[in-house]
Structure 1
Amino acid sequence: TYFGKTAELVRIARPKSHQQEVMLQITRYSMYLGIAVMIAVSILAYVMHLKNELISILTFDVAILMGCVPVALPAVMTIMQAAGARYLASKGVLVTKLDTVEDAASVDVLCLDKTGTITMNSLEVSSLVPLNLSEDELLELAFYASSEETKDPIDVAIVSRARKVNIRGRRISFIPFDPSTKRSEAVVEIEGKRIRVVKGAPQIVLEMCVNGKKFIEEKLNELASKGYKALLVAKGEEGGPLEAAGIIALSDPPRPDSAELIKRLKELDVRPKMITGDSFPIAKEIAGLVGIGEKGISLSDLRKLDESRLLEEIERADFLAEVFPEDKYAVVKSLQAKGHMVGMTGDGVNDAPALKQAELGIAVSNATDVAKASAGVVLLTPGLGGIVEVIIQSRKVYQRALTWIINKVTKVIQFTLLLAVGLFWLGYDVLTLMGMALLIFANDFATMSLATDNAEPTSNPNKWNIRNIMVSSVVLGILLLIEALIAIYIGQRLFSFPKNKMQTFILLIMVFTSQFRVLLVRERRYFWKSRPGRELIASVLVIIAVFLLLGTVGIVVERIPLSASLLSLAYSAAFTLGIDPIKVLIFRSVRIS
């Protein structure tokens, strides 16, 4: 059945989970590195008699794995998305799927309903064009094929206007407007005669009429050029042919802020694409008024094309006219097939498959429960303002997530190679299992404060490029590895630390470096270009204070002199922040913004 087909599309509609893909790839690459280093070092350490006991080798292997597995990644992603969702709720946008908060950052095409999203969705009868009868008689006929009970804006406008005329007949039957047929019908009795009245989309009703086609088409084009929505009313004796009775022109002007918000979307490099069931001339007029564009095509023309040409035309078009609700799913799939990340607005049951398939499904304020359940976000207020907020906030969440991932991968590179090099240099593990656990806490969980960090959204859609992220992280990780190796040299030459004190010194170096590394990579430009969030600043200061105390007093770890603790702090800050120009150059080279 028709509704069965809609339900099936809702069931199978599912965009690719970009967040899940990123998490899996980051985990996979980190584990590859960790396992490779673990196997190579374990074999060499055994051959070189650095580790002769199985328990000693296993302890080293566990330390490697503890540092490589991004245990906090799922929690951090969820917290970042939840923080974004909470902010959006304060702006009148309810997030129903947390993944949407991050996926919206990549959206580069946004399909918008005309009625209610771009326009006011407040129709009124603006003009009447009767054929061989009076305006009052035309309104009377339209009244019979309308009902306020349906809450349809068109019916409400016609009934409101028709109250001023004399209603002579008695309605016998009524078929409300159906999106699939694009018309409503009624049978009425007027002065003892049964009359069939049809009201609906002009291109549909005109095909049912036997008169006035040329005149009506001219009038329709004239009204459409002025931005009017036109309905054609036809009448005829029950069981007989229909004759065109006249045209009713309704106006639904654009919202006052639509043009400005469309301009803002374009500034964010998101291409708005208007989708409407209205005729081509009306769609073109509205698209021009709000600045969407002039390239358009009607669904009837699209159906004449082969598949490859159809995909190209949908991609090129600024607006699509005469579109049925169920066609929106095909439009979304077509755009995704061309490599686009798609946003889609909708309000009806028939829109549900498209809303679920799109990376950013947006249920408008008056949407049905099915549409709201299928969408990723629900707007509580009419218009485009909430959509712009979603995109901007999503790009901020993306920047925070990117910072966390770069920080984590850089730390994995630095830590894993340091354990290997340190073992062959010093002859023992540079970090104990307790030190490893403390480092994980300081680096992974304490940096959850990035969820509320001050982040600048980019002016273009964000796409996860794992290769570029890995390249930049490897370079930064190697530089920070050099920092740690120099620190070992300082600990040997300046303080002549024995094993336990050297392990504490290296732990402090790694912990302090992890805090300054967050401040380094949170900005794609120079680190001083923006102020970190209050929670991040507080987190960094608390971690530094706690570990200075641990190292100096000797809590949990071996005590080292205060001078050594302060030197490790100053050295970590100077080296880590000192490589900032190199970081900027790397990010520019691999186009991370």
Structure 2
Amino acid sequence: MSFVLIFLIGSVPVALPAVLTIVQAVGAMALSKKGIIVSRLTSLEDAASIDIFCFDKTGTITQNKLSIIACQPLTGYTAEQLLDAAGLAADQEHPDAIDQAVLNYAAEIKHPLDFSKRQQFTPFDFATKRTEAVITTTDHRQMRVIKGAVPTILALYAKQHPADTAPASAAIQQLATANAKKGYRSLAVASVVDSQMALVGVLAIADPPRADSASMLARLKNLGIKPMMITGDSVPIARDVAEQVGIGTKILPAKALKTGTAADKIQLIHESDGFANVFPDDKYQIVKLLQEDGHLVGMTGDGVNDAPALKQAELGTAVSSASDVAKASASIILTHPGLHDIIAAITTSRQTYQRMLTWVINKITKVIEIIILFTLGFFWLKVSLVSLLGMSLLVFANDFATMSIATDNVQSTAGPNQWRLGPLTAASGVLGLWFALVDLVIVWLGLNQFHLNLPVLQTAVLISLVFNSQFRLLIVRERGHFWTSWPSRTLLAVNLFTIVIFALLALTGWLMPAISSPLLVTILLLTLAGTIVLDFLKVAVFRWLKIA
């Protein structure tokens, strides 16, 4: 009965919940120092396996701030005259988004606007759909300047010039059409002098990408993640922004996903760079379809309409300007403007995965070592090779001491991570078999060279298991050779502390029968030498089974 109990104690991963929670909490704490709030701990593990990241456009990739992209005067006018007319027809004290874009552009190019010339201003009105101002010209005449949407200004121009509107109107329309193909909105500007209206030109307006969007998306691709744009904006606007930031140009309308089988829809998603004209349910369905096809998906957003997709994604990411509903639905919340913190979240999650992977390999290896050692030992000697108290001590030496893995120095991988249990078990089986053989050699030496009785032999086996567990941790933490990187100070300190404490317990005979110094040194040298030799075999096995 005691043998069965010892077997169970050695095999059950008693520290699993604590270790995984601590590893995730350490990752969340590291992200919080970078301004990233983790609202769901398990998302840190999921994020390591993400291979597709969906981005909303407005306020996420773009600045959510209108800007003047180009000043396009008609023949007979200069860009300065066009900007003067548009600027003086803007509300200086309480500007809306378009007025602010005009004023900002004038300030950026250092073009002064002389508001002292303005005698009267009429702000934007939804009935007229335009703003107007009356200004005094250099020759002391009064001129009315008007700005508004292209259809509004052209309709007003046609009303005042019913007989001769074609050339100027066609020029404005041509500019507006060309801007629309590039994804820009157009703002028309006109002037009226002595009741004669003239079209001055067009301002091309867009919501430009954030300065860091292109570089962040390039880094995301280097991490093996495909970025996609999912936006409610029109296809031309979405395609232009996607091309600017490096996502691609194959942007399809969301209605393309309304027909066909699930397989057809998934293929269409794979072949595209994003979707435009989407509704909230479309975003959710795209994320859902990708997940059903085996992908782990990240999703960013800032609005209430993004909430369902944010909640469904493995890593729902609310940007700094997101609504409360979006933040409540997300797994992580960015507190800094821009998207570069997403890279930090991905790399930290992959580091978290590496720490979990180290614990899993270490645990499976230990279980296989114990199964082989105890089974062969029982059939060989008809006794348990470790006492019940010794097994309890081993749990503390191995399971609880390995909690320090949460602080280990690890590198994130170049691509998404996946839990491949078959290769992991096979690799751990090779390591466990080797450690069990080292333990059996120590058993043989204890019986034939040191002539130990059973209680002292059990101490020798316990110390062998403890030393193996600590040395094993130092090699399985690295996928390459153990000297490739240094463990964290905490892990190394716990490791050395455990070895020293158990060595002292074995020498002094406290909590276990004492062993001699020569035997302790023999066990130390054998386990250390066996671990160093095993490291070379480990590297070959990990490469063969593609464990990274």
TM-score class normalised by the smaller sequence: 0.7 to 0.9
Deviation by residue 1:471-516 (Cα, 9 ceiling, x = unmatched): 1111211121111111100111111110110000000000000001
Partner of 1:85 in structure 2? Answer: 28
**Is residue 254–residue 277 contact of structure 2 (8 Å, CA) maintained in 1?**
yes
**Is residue 443–residue 514 contact of structure 1 (8 Å, CA) maintained in 2?**
yes
TM-aligned CA deviation for residue 466 of structure 1: 1.3
Indicate whether 1:107 and 2:50 are aligned: yes
Indicate whether 1:250 and 2:193 are aligned: no
Indicate whether 1:284 and 2:227 are aligned: no
Greater radius of gyration (CA): 2
Partner of 1:400 in structure 2? Answer: 355
> C-alpha distance in 1, partners of 2:307/2:392?
47
Deviation by residue 1:4-45 (Cα, 9 ceiling, x = unmatched): xxxxxxxxxxxxxxxxxxxxxxxxxxxxxxxxxxxxxxxxxx
SS in 1 for 2:504: helix
Deviation by residue 1:169-213 (Cα, 9 ceiling, x = unmatched): 796xxxxxxxxxxxxx6689999xxxxxxx9999xxxxxxxxx99
Deviation by residue 1:49-93 (Cα, 9 ceiling, x = unmatched): xxxxxxxxx211111111111111111111111111111111111
Q: Which of 451, 465, 470 in structure 2 is aligned with 1:510?
A: 465
> C-alpha distance in 2, partners of 1:263/1:187?
45
Q: Which of 296, 305, 308 in structure 2 is aligned with 1:353?
A: 308
TM-score, normalized by length of structure 1? 0.75
Q: Which of 510, 523, 539 in structure 1 is aligned with 2:494?
A: 539
Q: Which of 49, 55, 69 in structure 1 is aligned with 2:12?
A: 69
Q: Which amino acid aligns with 2:355?
A: R
Q: Which of 493, 497, 519 in structure 2 is aligned with 1:564?
A: 519
Unpaired runs of at least 5, structure 2? 75-80, 107-112, 133-147, 152-165, 190-200
TM-aligned CA deviation for residue 578 of structure 1: 1.1
Q: Which amino acid aligns with 1:69?
A: V
Deviation by residue 1:366-407 (Cα, 9 ceiling, x = unmatched): 111111111110001121210000001111110110000010
Indicate whether 1:98 and 2:41 are aligned: yes
Q: Which amino acid aligns with 2:531?
A: T
Q: In percent, how many aligned pairs have the same letter?
A: 46
Q: Which amino acid aligns with 1:535?
A: T
TM-aligned CA deviation for residue 300 of structure 1: 3.5
Unpaired runs of at least 5, structure 1? 1-57, 172-184, 192-198, 203-211, 234-245
Q: Which of 371, 375, 387 in structure 2 is aligned with 1:432?
A: 387
Deviation by residue 1:298-345 (Cα, 9 ceiling, x = unmatched): 224443555432221122211222223442111111211222110000
Q: Which moved more, 1:519-528 or 1:503-512?
A: 519-528
**Is residue 307–residue 330 contact of structure 2 (8 Å, CA) maintained in 1?**
yes
TM-aligned CA deviation for residue 231 of structure 1: 7.7
Q: Which amino acid aligns with 2:254?
A: L
TM-aligned CA deviation for residue 109 of structure 1: 0.5
> C-alpha distance in 1, partners of 2:451/2:265?
74
Q: Which amino acid aligns with 1:113?
A: D
SS in 2 for 1:416: helix
Indicate whether 1:495 and 2:495 are aligned: no
TM-aligned CA deviation for residue 252 of structure 1: 2.6
Partner of 2:163 in structure 1? Answer: none
> C-alpha distance in 1, partners of 2:358/2:149?
54
Q: What pairs with 1:15-414 in structure 2 (closer than 5 Å)?
A: 58-126=1-69, 157=101, 167-168=121-122, 219-226=175-182, 228-229=184-185, 249-303=204-258, 305-414=260-369
**Is residue 399–residue 455 contact of structure 1 (8 Å, CA) maintained in 2?**
yes
> C-alpha distance in 2, partners of 1:216/1:591?
61
TM-aligned CA deviation for residue 135 of structure 1: 8.5
> C-alpha distance in 2, partners of 1:326/1:369?
19
**Is residue 221–residue 281 contact of structure 1 (8 Å, CA) maintained in 2?**
no
TM-aligned CA deviation for residue 254 of structure 1: 2.3
**Is residue 60–residue 302 contact of structure 2 (8 Å, CA) maintained in 1?**
no
CA 1:321–1:64: 2 relative to 1, 3 Å: same
TM-aligned CA deviation for residue 217 of structure 1: 7.9
> C-alpha distance in 1, partners of 2:510/2:149?
80
> C-alpha distance in 2, partners of 1:267/1:188?
47
**Is residue 59–residue 302 contact of structure 2 (8 Å, CA) maintained in 1?**
no
TM-aligned CA deviation for residue 154 of structure 1: 6.0
Indicate whether 1:457 and 2:400 are aligned: no
> C-alpha distance in 2, partners of 1:221/1:540?
70
**Is residue 95–residue 376 contact of structure 1 (8 Å, CA) maintained in 2?**
yes
Q: Which amino acid aligns with 1:432?
A: S
**Is residue 128–residue 249 contact of structure 1 (8 Å, CA) maintained in 2?**
yes
Indicate whether 1:482 and 2:425 are aligned: no
**Is residue 455–residue 513 contact of structure 2 (8 Å, CA) maintained in 1?**
yes
> C-alpha distance in 2, partners of 1:482/1:93?
47
Deviation by residue 1:505-547 (Cα, 9 ceiling, x = unmatched): 0000000000011111111111111111111111110001001
**Is residue 61–residue 339 contact of structure 2 (8 Å, CA) maintained in 1?**
yes
Aligned length: 497
Q: Which moved more, 1:278-287 or 1:160-169?
A: 160-169
Q: Which of 376, 401, 405 in structure 2 is aligned with 1:421?
A: 376
CA 1:60–1:570: 2 relative to 1, 3 Å: same
TM-score, normalized by length of structure 2? 0.81
TM-aligned CA deviation for residue 215 of structure 1: 8.7
**Is residue 129–residue 149 contact of structure 2 (8 Å, CA) maintained in 1?**
no
TM-aligned CA deviation for residue 218 of structure 1: 5.3
Q: Let me know the Cα RMSD of the aligned residues.
A: 3.8
**Is residue 353–residue 374 contact of structure 1 (8 Å, CA) maintained in 2?**
yes
